[in-house]
Amino acid sequence: AGGSNYYGAMPRGKRFTRHLGLRTVRTIDQVMRFFPGDKLGFGGGQPFNMILDWTHEALTGRYRVTGDAADYDHDLAQLNVPVLMVSLQGDTLVPRPSADKVDGPHALYF
């Protein structure tokens, strides 16, 4: 598991590149109706709706499941459970700001 994929949570110098990459992934997914990551070297072959949901969170910072009316951000905010978030120095996929976006009030960092 990782932190938020929201491009706005990335370090400033990486936001534009992440945003452009996410738009590219979403466009490929919408055109092909699935994401051929196994052919593109990223993420393996993925179903259409999974990529829609993933890119929605990555582009907006809000969680949603296609076809579901639940407000996941509200529901997650109501949880009062400990969270262990491990952030590794130099991690380019989930840098510390991405981990911080989902850490909650009870996160422990090591």
**10-residue mean pLDDT series, the chain (110 residues):** 80 92 97 96 93 95 94 87 74 76 57
Q: Which of 68, 62, 54 is nearest to 21 (CA)?
A: 54
pLDDT at 2: 67
pLDDT at 104: 56
55: left (phi over 0), alpha (psi -120 to 50) or beta: alpha
Q: Do strands 107-108 and 34-36 pair parallel, antiparallel, or not at all (unpaired)? A: unpaired
- HSE-up (13 A, CA, CB side) for residue 78: 5
Place of tokens 């949603």: 64
**d(Cα 90, Cα 67) in Å, to the nearest integer?**
37
